[in-house]
């Protein structure tokens, strides 16, 4: 399965402009890493580092790369782009698709911060800076002899380079066919995994982004059409039955082509011709790729900007409403807003965002215009999506307005803290960390409480303790434990109770079994903590955990033996050495044919 990535706010494949980082520029700190992923993923990343799975850590300017051993034979490759103590972009070749960074990206960042772990290398640009043109040409020609696809790649790169006039679509289409023709070898077990050059196609599609950002819709359309034609043809021939990832590019192509169409100067005949081509693509795909196919771009080509109702909205006329149907098409509205922003038609942007009810977009444009007080007030009053509020708050903070950013996040948090959701938890965590950094203690405590109520995680519990400080922790602790007690489900309940030494409550939680899977290490700590309080409970609990592991597979035997060792301590604590001898003897007899298990059991006599 192709790698996943997190990039900036540009269209898919686009790269936010980032300057070359100094080799000694600080790496992302703990707070920046926490912003990338769920707390459980952060903990798994730490475990990956402890296991020694991260290798080949190299930094070249603003780019950090590593190999991370995983469940596959080949290690996963991680690439991270850095900017100002933060992560601008990341990519991993693992199949993780659950939102946020994967544990391999987290592990790479954590490992990179360890002294001596990171090798500093010059950037490729620096390596080539002093190379004469003839030597560089010779280097490329010699490399092309070993890589027959290099010449086509260079030709496509040059064809799509801004500032060279009209884009020649032929090299780009040829490169798309080359990329699509590089099918990986398939094994028997590959049938349910995606196979296809998704990343390479995204890179080709991304060639249109600079043209879109410059308002050059015609050249952007040329690039996108040159990629789409062979993509559709090859996808239908080779990938339709096995693809679990590539088909998503059709949605992005449609969105980007709609944007290009709305900013281009196409004649009526050109629009009709392109619409016929795209309708033909939809006929070929016939619902295979997505429900809507290329409907967005065909709609944009048909409607343009000429509808009287739309013109009235853009002019800000009182009572004006969106054209019929367009009020139910937020994707098309979003495309129009991007086009207006690129053209710096800011008042029309604000009028359209207001009419469409896109308050996040409205507040965002007010921020870009420097109308900070208006932006904060509008977002605080109207924006209800916590994910959108987090994006707005971060942008405002990055623009040099930290306190208004915190106020915006706080106002949003008050509205969403009663609804548990991942975005609400992330908003609360961001507000907690930033308020704590700015010594706004009351706000940091409020956000810490909300973050814990949202996630009920050990990491959020510990973060609240840090914010409260030693002198203020007791009332905060009691409040958080009360929240935990009322929660019907809390995956870290046992770990939190053990953190506070509430062993009896943790035992009761384990008996209730409401939390679903709990990490084995946490349960082992519980059993060990219960030995002094109730050794009989510890024995029963440990033997219940060991029982299924004794018959599963050889790789579970050591964990079974660890559980039985805990049970043995329970027997000894009760003074029942004879009972333990009989018990372990029975187990040795019962599993005498499990040759890899038997010595582990013998060692427990």
Query: How does pLDDT run across 400-448, given as a tens digit for each residue?
Result: 999 999 999 998 888 766 666 678 899 999 999 999 999 999 999 999 9
Distance CA 221, CA 232 (A): 16
pLDDT at 416: 65
What are the CA-CA distances from residue 526 to residues 386, 502, 506, 511, 534 (Å)? Answer: 36, 10, 7, 12, 11
Closest CA to 200 of 166, 234, 164: 234
Give the span between the Cα atoms of 591 and 586, in whole angstroms: 9
Minimum mean pLDDT range among 343-357, 408-422, 428-442, 542-556: 408-422
pLDDT tens figures, 14-64 = 333 333 444 457 889 888 898 888 888 898 899 999 989 999 999 999 999
**According to the model, what pLDDT value does residue 491 have?**
83
Question: What is the rounded average pLDDT of the residues 377-396?
Answer: 90
- Rounded to whole angstroms, what are the CA distances from 540 to 56, 73, 546, 561, 584? 45, 39, 10, 15, 14
Containing 383, the helix (H) or strand (E) segment is none
Average pLDDT of 256-271?
Answer: 92
- Categorize the per-residue pLDDT at 565 as very low, low, confident or very high, splitting at 50, 70 and 90: very high
Q: CB within 8 A of 469, min separation 6: which ones?
A: none
Lowest mean pLDDT among 8-12, 266-270, 422-426: 8-12
- DSSP string for residues in 18-51: -PPPPTTPPPP-HHHHHTTS-HHHHHHHHHHHHT
* Three-state secondary-structure class, residue 89: strand
Report how far residue 595's alpha carbon sits from residue 598's, in angstroms, rounded to the nearest whole number. 5
Backbone angles phi, psi at 596, to 5 degrees: -85, -20
pLDDT band for position 184 (50/70/90)?
Answer: very low
pLDDT bin (cut points 50, 70, 90) of residue 3 is very low
**Packing angle of the helix pair 557-573, 520-533 (nearest 10 deg):** 10
3-state secondary structure at position 373 = helix
Query: What interhelical angle do 422-437 and 441-455 show, nearest 10?
Result: 160
- Pairwise pLDDT comparison (279 vs 291), residue with the higher score: 279
Q: What's the N-to-C CA distance of the chain in angstroms?
A: 48
Q: How far apart are CA 22 and CA 123, in angstroms?
A: 10
Instruction: State the Cα–Cα distance between residues 362 and 348, nearest whole angstrom.
Output: 11
Q: What is the pTM of this model?
A: 0.69
Whether 61 contacts 43, CB under 8 Å: no
Letter string b/e over residues 217-255, b meaning 16 or more CB atoms within 10 A of that residue's CB: bbbbbbbbbbbbbbbbebbeeebeeebbbbbebbbbbbb
Tabulate helix, strand, coil % of the chain (nearest 5). 65, 5, 30
Q: Are 295 and 261 in contact (CB under 8 A)?
A: no
The structural domains of the chain, with segments of one domain joined by +, span 4-120, 154-185+194-283, 528-602
Residue 419 CA from chain centroid, whole number:
22
pLDDT for the residue numbered 417: 60
| Mean per-residue pLDDT, 219-242 | 86
Which pLDDT value is given to residue 433?
95
3-class secondary-structure state, position 340: helix
- Among 394, 386, 396, 403, smallest CA distance to 365 is for 396
- What is the average pLDDT across 448-452? 94
Q: How many CB atoms lie within 10 A of CB 14?
A: 20
Does residue 195 sit in helix, strand or coil? coil
**Residues whose CB is less than 8 angstroms from the CB of residue 428 and which lie 6 or more positions away in sequence, other chains included:** 413, 417, 447, 448, 450, 451, 454
Round the average pLDDT of the chain to a whole number and report it. 86
Sign of CA dihedral 236, 237, 238, 241: positive
Which 3 state secondary structure label does DSSP give 219? helix
Tens digit of each residue's pLDDT (9 = 90 or more) over 106-149: 999 999 999 888 999 998 888 888 889 999 899 988 988 888 88
Per the DSSP assignment, residues forming a β-bridge with 77 are 67
Q: How many CB atoms lie within 10 A of CB 50?
A: 11
């Amino acid at each position: 399965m192709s790698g996943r990535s997190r990039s900036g706010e540009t269209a898919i494949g686009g790269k936010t402009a980032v300057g070359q980082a100094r080799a000694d520029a600080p790496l992302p700190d703990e707070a920046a890493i926490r912003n990338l992923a769920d707390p459980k993923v952060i903990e798994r990343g730490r475990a990956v580092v402890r296991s020694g799975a991260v290798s080949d850590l190299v930094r070249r300017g603003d780019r950090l790369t590593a190999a991370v051993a995983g469940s596959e034979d080949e290690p996963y490759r991680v690439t991270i782009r850095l900017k100002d103590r933060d992560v601008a972009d990341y990519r991993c070749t693992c199949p993780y698709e659950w939102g946020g960074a994967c544990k391999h990206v987290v592990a790479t960042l954590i490992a990179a911060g360890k002294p001596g772990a990171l090798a500093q290398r010059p950037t490729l640009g620096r390596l080539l800076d002093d190379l004469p043109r003839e030597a560089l040409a010779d280097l490329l020609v010699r490399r092309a002899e070993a890589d027959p696809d290099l010449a086509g790649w260079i030709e496509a790169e040059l064809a799509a380079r801004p500032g060279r006039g009209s884009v020649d679509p032929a090299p780009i289409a040829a490169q798309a066919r080359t990329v699509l023709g590089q099918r990986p070898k398939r094994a028997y077990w590959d049938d349910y995994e995606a196979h296809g050059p998704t990343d390479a196609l995204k890179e080709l599609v991304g060639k249109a982004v600079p043209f879109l950002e410059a308002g050059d819709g015609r050249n952007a359309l040329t690039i996108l059409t040159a990629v789409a034609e062979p993509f559709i043809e090859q996808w239908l021939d080779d990938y339709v039955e096995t693809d679990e990832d590539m088909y998503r590019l059709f949605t992005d192509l449609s969105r980007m082509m709609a944007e290009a169409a709305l900013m281009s100067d196409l004649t009526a005949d050109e629009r009709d011709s392109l619409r016929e081509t795209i309708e033909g693509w939809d006929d070929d795909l016939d619902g295979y790729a997505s429900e809507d196919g290329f409907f967005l771009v065909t709609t944009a080509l048909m409607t343009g900007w000429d509808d009287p109702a739309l013109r009235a909205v853009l002019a800000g006329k009182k009572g004006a409403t969106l054209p019929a149907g367009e009020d139910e098409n937020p994707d098309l509205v979003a495309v129009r807003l991007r086009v207006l922003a690129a053209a710096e038609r800011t008042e029309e942007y604000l009028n359209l965002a207001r009419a469409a009810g896109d308050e996040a977009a409205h507040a965002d444009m007010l921020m870009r215009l420097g109308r900070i007080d208006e932006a904060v007030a509008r977002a605080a009053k109207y924006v209800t999506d916590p994910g959108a509020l987090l994006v707005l708050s971060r942008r405002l903070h990055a623009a040099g307005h930290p306190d208004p950013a915190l106020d915006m996040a706080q106002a949003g948090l008050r509205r969403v803290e009663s609804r548990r959701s991942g975005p609400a938890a992330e908003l609360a965590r961001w507000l907690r960390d930033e308020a704590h950094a700015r010594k706004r203690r009351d706000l940091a405590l409020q956000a810490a409480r909300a973050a814990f109520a949202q996630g009920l995680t050990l990491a959020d519990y510990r973060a609240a303790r840090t914010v409260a400080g030693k002198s203020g922790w007791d009332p905060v602790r009691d409040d958080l434990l009360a929240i935990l007690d009322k929660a019907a489900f809390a995956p870290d309940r046992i770990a939190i109770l053990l953190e506070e030494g509430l062993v009896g409550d943790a035992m009761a939680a384990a008996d209730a079994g409401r939390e679903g899977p709990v990490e084995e290490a946490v349960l082992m700590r519980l059993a060990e903590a219960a030995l002094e309080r109730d050794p009989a409970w510890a024995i029963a609990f440990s033997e219940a955990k060991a029982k299924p592991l004794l018959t599963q597979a050889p790789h579970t035997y050591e964990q079974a033996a660890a559980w039985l060792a805990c049970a043995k301590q329970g027997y000894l604590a009760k003074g029942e050495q004879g009972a333990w001898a009989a018990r372990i003897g029975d187990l040795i007899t019962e599993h005498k044919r499990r040759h890899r298990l038997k010595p582990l059991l013998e060692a427990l006599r």
